Amino acid sequence: MLVRMHEILDEAYERGYGVGAFNLLSMEAVKGALRAAEALQLPIILQLAEVQLNDSPLELMIPMFLDAARRASVKVAVHYDHGLTFGNILKAIKLGCTSVMFDGASEPFEDNVRKTAEIAKIAHAFGADCEAELGTVGSEGQESLLSAGMFTDPAQALDFSERTECDFLAVAVGNVHGNYAAEPALQTDLIEQISGSVKKPLVLHGGSGISDAEFRKAISCGIAKINVCTAILNETNSRVKKLAEKKFKYSELSNVLEEAACSTIKRHMSVFSNR
């Protein structure tokens, strides 16, 4: 069933478990994601990021997400991830996304506050939720370059949260997008401080490659939404490469794409929910 994201994350935050948010780039990945969620009978978030629109157009993917959500036997939120431009965020809202993210983390603090507040106001007027980001979440292999000055500051997070009225806050706590070149070292004490300050569901970007133990610790400290993309792509690439060693039919490729998504998502959802 299609729901707003707060209907999923508020409960997760209050009860201390995590919900997976998965970036999906194909019909097969969507099918695999819903199979995993229904097999576990757990809520799920289907999402697409602005940087992925060249491969997976917004106007094609979002209607498919929405239809799959309405048919599902579990709660499903449809989220526009890492929105960078006002036009695409507004398009995502009009298409029916139940949540959108404005990523203003690279902008000066006051600009991030102003733009996030504007987008949150529009999203709420359309019956959608708003995710925002504060701090610097690194890119692939940059974890050794991160410094304390790039992390989300708890006091600043409270000011940001109150002034923007965002529903969820993505934090920078030693996490990076993409593949980790070294063992991730999440600042779980910092997550706990931010959670105690803003008192709303926190979001962990860069979920691929983090250990089960660190996931569970982060969730216990206030993380309610965990984004996963690279792990799905890695598993898909591995299985497709193996399939390409022989002649294959399109139906076999389709099945491989669906199974790669299903198995990866099911594994992550089990960890996040402590099942």
Instruction: Provide the annotated active-site residues.
Output: 81
Amino acid 85 reads T
Q: Count Cβ atoms within 10 A of the Cβ of residue 271 and give its class: 0-12 exposed, 13-18 middle, 19 or more buried.
A: buried
Q: How far apart are CA 33 and CA 258, in angstroms?
A: 8
Q: What angle do CA 60, 139, 237 make, to 5 degrees?
A: 55
CB-facing half-sphere around the CA of 170: CA atoms within 13 A: 29
Nearest to 79 by CA among 163, 13, 170, 195: 170
Radius of gyration of the chain (CA): 18
